Amino acid sequence: MKKLQKIEIINLIGRELQNRMKFVEIDGYFESYGIQTNHQPTYNSKYVYVQEVLPKVKDEIILEIASELGIEHPAVSQIPIIKESEATFWKPGHFKLFISHLASFKKTIGILKKELEKYGISSFVAHEDIEPTKEWQDEIEKGLFSMDALCAVLMPGFKDSNWTDQEVGVAIGRNVLIIPIRKELDP
C-alpha cells in the first residue's frame, strides 16, 4: 500500500471509530488485532488517538480493520485479506513463515519445517501443505497473504523461477520480513 493510501485509510478508520465507539471500546478493538493501546493521545479525541496509533501498524492489519468496518477505498478492495481461519495449514498461535524454495530442494525443506515447529514457527511448504484436491495457486496465495515473514532459500535457479519470483514480490509488496538463506546463491 502506498503511503498516501495508508494515511487516507487511517483517516477514514479514525472517523468511523470516533462515531461508533468509546475510547475503551477502541482499545479493546485494537487489542484484538495485537495493537498496543498504552498510548496517551495529545488531545481528548478518539479521532486523534487513532491517527497517532495506527501509522505504526502493519499495512495488512490496517486493511483488515478497514475491510471489517466496511470502509470503501480502492486500496482496501485491491489487496486480498486472508483470515487465519481460511489458511488452515498454519498451526494456531505459531509464527507463520512461508518458505520459498525450488521443488528440487523439497526434501530438505520438509526437514527444516519439522525442526522449526519445535520453536513455535509454523512453516508453509507448498509440496507438503497443499492437499491434492485443492487449487495450488489459491493455497499459495492464502499462505502469502497471511504469513508473518517469508524465508527465501537462495540456490541456483531460484531467481529464474516464476513462482519464487512472485512469492518474494508479494512479501516485498506486503512489507513483511524477508529472511534469505544463502544456498550457493547470493541475495
In tens, the pLDDT along 51-86 reads 999 998 988 889 889 888 888 877 665 555 555 446
Residues 68 and 110 reside in one and the same domain: no
What's the pLDDT at 132? 44
Domain membership of residue 103 as a residue range: 95-182
Does residue 90 form part of some domain?
no
Domain count, the chain: 2
Residues 69 and 107 reside in one and the same domain: no
CA-wise closest residue to 163 among 108, 86, 105: 105
Count how many residues are written for the chain: 187
Q: How far is Cα 153 from Cα 167, in angstroms, rounded to an integer?
A: 12
**In this prediction, what percent of the chain has a pLDDT beyond 70?**
86
Quick one: CA dihedral 7, 10, 16, 21, positive or negative? negative
Does residue 85 form part of some domain?
no
Residue 16 clears pLDDT 90, i.e. is over it:
yes
| Sheet order of strands, 95-100 included | 121-124, 95-100, 149-154, 177-182
CA-wise closest residue to 163 among 100, 78, 93: 100
Residues 175 and 99 reside in one and the same domain: yes
Does residue 87 form part of some domain?
no
Does residue 187 form part of some domain?
no
Q: How far is Cα 64 from Cα 81, in angstroms, rounded to an integer?
A: 6
What's the pLDDT at 104? 82
Does residue 160 form part of some domain?
yes
Residues 104 and 72 reside in one and the same domain: no
The 3-class secondary structure across 57-101, one letter per residue, is CCHHHHHHHHHHCCCCCHHHHHCCCCCCCCCCCCCCCCEEEEEEC
